[in-house]
Structure 1
Amino acid sequence: MNRIDSPFRYARPVSAFLALFVVLLLPLAAATAQTTTVRSVEVPLRGGQLTDGDVRLLENETPALSLPATVDRVVYLVFGSNEPNLNDSLRSYAENDDRSLLSGSEDKFAPGSLIVAVGMDPRRVGVACGDDVCNAINFYASGRMDGILDEMRVPLRQSGDPNIAAALLAGARAAGDTTVVAEEKEESGVSGWWIFGGIGSAAAAVTAGSLIWALRNRRRRMREHYDHVVENYARVASQLDSINVRAHSLSSPLADDALRRDWEDVRTRFLAIDTTVQRLSGIGDEVDDRELARRWREITEAYETVRQMENAEANIDEFFRMEHGDGAVRRRHLTEMHEDLTEARTRVSDDGLRDDLAEIDARVLALRDTPDAPAFMDSYARIITDYRIIIEAVRKREFDDVEPDDDNPAPRIWDDSWRPGYGYSGFVPFMTVNSWHESATGSAAVSSGTTTGYSSGGFSGGAASGGW
C-alpha cells in the first residue's frame, strides 16, 4: 500500500500550492495588463496658450489618469479662435486637420478617441469621444456632460487668469471618473468638501502657484499679441489699398450697402491704430514684460483690430473669387448651405416650412451642379433672399425666444464665421438662429448652457461644450 500510495502522497500539498499560485497570480496578471495599457497623448493645437512645460505636464500626467481601456488616444486642443458652438470647431478640426479623428463612416469621432478642448475666442470648453469611449465613460448619463465641463471651468475661473493646461487635464480626469455628475456636486456637496479640504491643507501653495502661473501666462499672451501686431500690421497695411479696391469692385447683388458699411468700419478702425502701432514698434524687440504690461490696453486694441482686418481680407478675397467664377469656392458655399438646410429640415416641426426648405434645397443642389452658370451670382442672391424669408418664419413660429440684436449679432465681414451672403437683407443661416435659440433656452433651463449638437447636419459624434 505504501508503494502504491507513494506517487500521490504529495498531491494534496501540490494542489494547495497551485491553488494559492493561481489566486495570487491572476490578480497580478490582470493588474499588469491594466497598467501596460498604451494610449497616445497628443497636443497638436496650442492656440497660442500652452507652453512647452504645459505640454510636458499633459504628456506626463495623462497616462496616470484612470481611464477606460477603450481609450487609446487622448487629444488636447486649444483654439485661439473658435465657433460659438465649440462642437463645430471640433468637427471642423477632425474633418480638415486630422481625419484620423473620424470614424470609418466619417460621421462620428474615431473609436478609442477622447478629445478635450478649450476655446479662447469666444470662451468655451468641450469634450468629445468615439462611440465606444462615450459608452465606457457613461457620457450620456444624466448630469455627466455638465459635470465634466464644470470640472474644466474651475481652473479657468479660479485665479482671474485661466489655467488652460489644468483645465484640459481636469476634463480628461473627469471623463474617466463616472461619479462626476452635475447633480452630485450640487446636492451632496462632494466637490465642495474636496475644495474645502484642499484649502485647509494646501491653500498657500495653491494660491502662490496660481498667481505665478497667472502672471507668466498673462505675460506670455501679451508678448504673443505684441509680436503678432508688429509682424502682421505692416503687411496688411501695405496691402490695404488693394484690399480696398477689391472690396469696392464687388458688384453682385450680395455686395449691398450693409457689407460696404462693415468694410468701411473695419478699415477706419484699422487706419486709426497706425499711431498706436508705430508707438508699439518703437519700443523695440527687446522690450521687457513690465513695459508690455504697462501698454496692455494698446496692445489688446491693436491685436483685435489687426485680427479683424485679416479676417476681412480673407472674406473679401473669398467673395471676389466667388463672383469671378471660382468653381471650388462656389460649390463649397452651396454645400454649406445644403447642410444648413438639411439641419433645418430635421429640426423644424412645421410641415409647410419643411416643404419650403426642401424646395430651397433643391434649388441649391441644382445651382451647385452648374457652378459656371452665367447668372450664378444672381441665382445665389435670389436663393439667399428666399431662404431669409423662410428662416424669419421659422424664427417667429418656433424660435420666438430670440431676436437679432446686440446679444445675438449676425456675423460681420470681419468675423471668421462670415460667408458671402451673410447679412444680405438681414440674412443669417439656420445654424445661427438655432444657436441663438439654444443659448436662450439653455440659459433658462441649465446654468451651464451645455450644447450637444452641431450647426449643420451630416455628423453625430458625441460631444458636449459650453461657456466658461
Structure 2
Amino acid sequence: MNRLDFPLRYTRPVAALLVLFVALLLPMTAATAQIATTARSVEVPLRGGQLTDGDVRLLENETPGLSLPAAVNRVVYLVFESNESNLNDSLRYYAERDDRSLLSEAKDKFAPGSLIVAVGMDPRRVGVACGDDVCNAINFYGAGRMDGILDEMRVPLRQSGDPNIAAALLAGARASGDTTVVAEEKEDSGVSGWWIFGGIFGVSTVGTAGGLFWALRNHRRRMREHYNHVVDNYARVAAHLDSINVQAHSLSSPLADDAVRRDWEDVRSRFLAIDSTVQRLSGIGDEVGDRELARRWREINEAYETVQQMENAEGNIDEFFRMEHGDGTVRRRRLTEMHEDLTEARATVSDDGLRADLKEIDERVLALRDTPDAPDFMETYAQIITDYRIVIEAVRRREFDDVEPDGVTPAPRIWDDSWRPGYGYAGFVPFVTVNSWHESATGSSAGSSGTTTGYSSGGFSGGSASGGW
C-alpha cells in the first residue's frame, strides 16, 4: 500500500465527523446565546413624556445586542420629567417608592444584576446606577469610568440643540459595558509643548496670526449664535409676557418681597425696550453676512443678553409659582439644594459654634423636606432662610473677611440662572455663593468633575453617578 494512501483513506470519514460535530454544535451555541439574550430583561417603565413607542422599541431591540457583562441580567431605562437636582436621589426614590425589586435584600443598595440608565429633564441630568456585582463587572469605580459613561450620554443630548433621549440612554448602557470608555484627561503639556516648539523654531508670528484668526472666527460664530437666538426666541417670550406678568404679580408668600417685584419690573422693562432693536435685527434676513453681524454687534449683544435674562426670569417665576402652590418635587428639590449647601458649609467652616448652628438649620431643612405638603411650608421655609442668612453673615465676618459687602458682590437676581426662590430675601445669599466670592478674592478654587456619586441623606449606598447635561 502506498504510504500516501493511509491518511487519504481517513480524510473523508474525519471530515464527515467534523461536519456532524459542527452541525450539532451550532444549534447548541445558538440556543445558549438565545438563552443568554432572553435572560436579560430590558425595561422602560418611565418615559418622562419624552420617549415615543418607537424609542421604546429601539431600546428593547438594540440593548440585547450590547456587549454587557454576564452579571447584568436586567437593564432599566428611566426618563424623569421632573427630578431632584441630585439625580441619584431620584433613582433611589424611584426604587424605594415605585419598584422595590430594584433594591437589594437589605434595601440599602441597588439589586444585584441591575443596570439603571437615566435621563432627568428638569433639571437636566444624566445618571447611571448598578448593583454591586454589576458595578464591579463594569469597573464602575475605575479611574475616569463614571465621567466617561456620563460624557457618552451627553453627546446625543447636546447635539444640534435637539436632545435625543433614546440615543443617550442607549449610549449610557453601551458605555457601561465598554470598560475602555473613560473620561479624557485634560493635559496642559500639549499646549506648553506647542509654545516651546514654536519658540524654538521662531514661529511666534505665525502663532499670533493663527490666534487672531481663531479669535475672529469664534467671535463671528458667537455673533451668529446670538443673532439666531434673538430671532428665534424673542417672539415666543413676548407672546407669553402678559401671562408671565400675571404669574409674577400673583406670588404671595413671604419670599415674594419688594426686591423680587423690583427685579421683575426691571427685566420686564428692559425686555419691552428692545422691541425696536429686535425688529431691526429681524429685518436684515436669515442670509445676513458676517460683516453685517459684526457691524451690529452692540445691538445683537444687548438683545441677546436681555432675551436670555427674560427667559431665566420666566423659568424662575414659574418655579417660584409652583413652589408656592404645593409642587412637592420643586419643594423637595429646593430643600435638597439647601441641604447640599449646608453640608458644604459645615465641611468648610472651622468654627465649632458656627458648625453647630449650621447643623441645627440642616436638621430643620431635612424635617421640612419630609413634609412638602405642610400647610405652612412657605412660612417655615422663609424662616429657615432668615436664620440661615444670620449664620452665613457670621461666617462672612469671622472666616471670610476678604469678602466685600453686598454692594460690591450682589446676590443673584431673578433674571440670573443661578437664582432660587428666597435668594435676596432679607439679604440671603447661599453659602456656595459667598464661598465663591471668597475663592475669587484669595485666588483659590477647588476643581470638580461635576459628577455626583452620593445621596442627600444617609442609609443608602448603592453605586451611582450623575451629572448635568
One-letter amino acid of the counterpart of residue 237, structure 1: D
What is the aligned partner in structure 1 of residue 208 from structure 2?
Answer: none
**Residues 179-232 of structure 1: CA deviation (Å, up to 9, x unaligned):** 33348999xxxxxxxxxxxxxxxxxxxxxxxxxxxxxxxxxxx99998876566
Cα distance in 1 for residues equivalent to 2:145 and 2:357: 38
One-letter amino acid of the counterpart of residue 387, structure 1: Y
* Alignment pair present for 1:38 and 2:36: no
Alignment of 1:103-114 (within 5 A): 103=102, 112-114=114-116
- C-alpha spacing 1:88/1:445, structure 2 compared with 1 (3 Å): closer
Scaled by the length of structure 1, the TM-score of the pair is 0.56
What is the aligned partner in structure 1 of residue 425 from structure 2?
Answer: 424
- C-alpha spacing 1:409/1:45, structure 2 compared with 1 (3 Å): farther
What is the aligned partner in structure 2 of residue 237 from structure 1?
Answer: 242
**Residues 245-292 of structure 1: CA deviation (Å, up to 9, x unaligned):** 446xx584x44554333222332244335557889999xxxx9x979x
Cα distance in 2 for residues equivalent to 1:97 and 1:116: 13
The alignment of Structure 1 onto Structure 2 pairs a total of residues equal to: 392
What is the aligned partner in structure 2 of residue 127 from structure 1?
Answer: 127
- C-alpha spacing 1:55/1:306, structure 2 compared with 1 (3 Å): farther
Q: Give SS of 1:149's match.
A: helix
* Alignment pair present for 1:387 and 2:388: yes
One-letter amino acid of the counterpart of residue 135, structure 2: C
Cα distance in 2 for residues equivalent to 1:366 and 1:467: 26
Unaligned stretches of 5+ residues in structure 2: 1-20, 188-226, 294-299
Q: Give SS of 1:348's match.
A: helix
Q: Give SS of 2:77's match.
A: strand
Paired residues of 1:229 and 1:303 also in contact (CA < 8 A): yes
What is the aligned partner in structure 2 of residue 75 from structure 1?
Answer: 77
Unaligned stretches of 5+ residues in structure 1: 1-18, 187-221
Alignment of 1:263-412 (within 5 A): 263-272=264-273, 274=275, 304=308, 307-315=311-319, 317=321, 321=324, 328=326, 333=331, 337=335, 340-341=338-339, 344=342, 348-349=346-347, 351-361=352-362, 365=367, 377=379, 381-391=382-392, 412=413
Give the C-alpha shift of residue 34 in structure 1: 1.6
Paired residues of 1:116 and 1:168 also in contact (CA < 8 A): yes
One-letter amino acid of the counterpart of residue 41, structure 2: V
Give the C-alpha shift of residue 140 in structure 1: 1.8
- C-alpha spacing 1:235/1:366, structure 2 compared with 1 (3 Å): closer
Identity of aligned residues (%): 51
- C-alpha spacing 1:90/1:360, structure 2 compared with 1 (3 Å): closer
One-letter amino acid of the counterpart of residue 383, structure 1: I
**Residues 154-198 of structure 1: CA deviation (Å, up to 9, x unaligned):** 6778xx847854655433221111233348999xxxxxxxxxxxx
Cα distance in 2 for residues equivalent to 1:417 and 1:175: 32
Cα distance in 2 for residues equivalent to 1:441 and 1:172: 40
What is the aligned partner in structure 1 of residue 6 from structure 2?
Answer: none
Give the C-alpha shift of residue 344 in structure 1: 3.5
Give the C-alpha shift of residue 411 in structure 1: 5.2
- C-alpha spacing 1:397/1:173, structure 2 compared with 1 (3 Å): farther
Cα distance in 2 for residues equivalent to 1:411 and 1:174: 38
- C-alpha spacing 1:59/1:437, structure 2 compared with 1 (3 Å): farther
What is the aligned partner in structure 1 of residue 176 from structure 2?
Answer: 175
Q: Give SS of 1:67's match.
A: coil
What is the aligned partner in structure 1 of residue 65 from structure 2?
Answer: 64
* Alignment pair present for 1:149 and 2:147: no
Paired residues of 1:87 and 1:453 also in contact (CA < 8 A): no
Give the C-alpha shift of residue 115 in structure 1: 1.4
Cα distance in 1 for residues equivalent to 2:229 and 2:91: 23
Cα distance in 2 for residues equivalent to 1:149 and 1:402: 35
- C-alpha spacing 1:445/1:333, structure 2 compared with 1 (3 Å): closer
